[in-house]
Amino acid sequence: MSADQRLSDHERALYSRQIRLPGVGESGQLRLREAKVLILGAGGLGSPVGLYLAAAGVGHIGIADPDKVEISNLHRQVVHGFDTLGLPKTVSAAEALGEINPGLKVALHPEGFTVENAADLVARHDLVIDGTDNFATRFLAADACVLGRRPLVHGSVLRSTGQVGVFLPGAGCYRCLYPVIPDAASVPTCADAGVFGATCGVIGSWMASEGISILLGRRNQSQLFVVDVEAGSSRRLALAPDPACPSCGPAATILGLEKGAYAPVVCAAPTSPTMSETPLEITVEEASRLLSGPNPPVLLDVREPDEYAVCRIDGSRLIPMNAVPSRLAEVPTDVWVLVQCHHGGRSMKVTQFLRSKGYARVSNLQGGIDAWSLKVDPKVPRY
């Protein structure tokens, strides 16, 4: 082993607590030192991502962000400070990361992540971590990673909730969940709805942790984590490739990156409540109240037929999760749809899928039929 393939005494001391972790060791620490990670956005999510990747010993970090530091950033974008107000975020972030890891190599991309440079930037890095706050860049990153065969970690936050997505080549991509860029007006932004700075810290740290796990070879499945910081809850949803996915499916239609493809979809003004007015999840108690009301929602059960034979909620319609994409015509668009499964995991994935297809009034039934049996109707058998 040559000298440049070994850790120095300084590195062993600096990363000693990490090196002793199972699955890391000196070989894992060397892998991190040789890794190249591209961070999209040096804001609320990119700040903790960058700090923890640098502190973990990642050797090369690229930062793409076209913005400058503003005072409204500081309550959550902890990589910046009052002394960097007005500076490009890439410069401010690089200075902070260098204080944590003086040996870190940082490449600045103040032009941001664009259609023109996306393919090249992705090809130059081992991993892309996306903390941007607009749909156009998210979908551009997702498609560029599929085309470039690079893993992607995605994060998003709103108020006190967030999501962390891990998308591995060949194992399901971002568009398997969200096939089409939605209307930007259908989902509120942090500027509109607000966000807790600590929520960004939780989600960004989680993104960094997933990124490190990928670099260490400890992830082999795409997955989505749904986190509610205020409620103190999180759920993991395993993802699988969607055969109909326009990006990674066998009949993919996205074969390159074209500028016009990443303009936000503009929809006509809605005549009914939008996604931002429809909760992503509702409790079984609230669902029971709605279902017994004068204009009940449709209850869509996405479990398998054998599960449906064991127990069901009266009035529910069965469409197994894997059959939903081919049976969309059976899902009404003019009424509120509640999606239900056993514990709430599969139904959350279907809820997200339907929303990506433009279904504005769709919500997940929190806890599924198991929670319904425990809290609403104990005559419904549990399994």
Please list the active-site residues.
190, 341
Q: Residue holding tokens 């009266």?
A: 314
User: Quick one: three-class SS letters along the chain?
Assistant: CCHHHCCCHHHHHHCHHHHCCCCCHHHHHHHHHHCEEEEECCCCCHHHHHHHHHHHCCCEEEEECCCECCHHHCCCCCCCCHHHCCCEHHHHHHHHHHHHCCCCEEEEECCCCCCCCHHHHHHCCCEEEECCCCHHHHHHHHHHHHHHCCCEEEEEEEECEEEEEEECCCCCCHHHHCCCCCEHHHCCCHHHHCECHHHHHHHHHHHHHHHHHHHCCCCCCCEEEEEECCCCEEEEEECCCCCCCCCCCCCCCCCCCCHHHHCCECCCCCCCCCHHHCCCEECHHHHHHHHCCCCCCEEEECCCHHHHHHCCCCCCEECCHHHCHHHHHHCCCCCCEEEECCCCHHHHHHHHHHHHCCCCCEEEECCHHHHHHHHCCCCCCCC
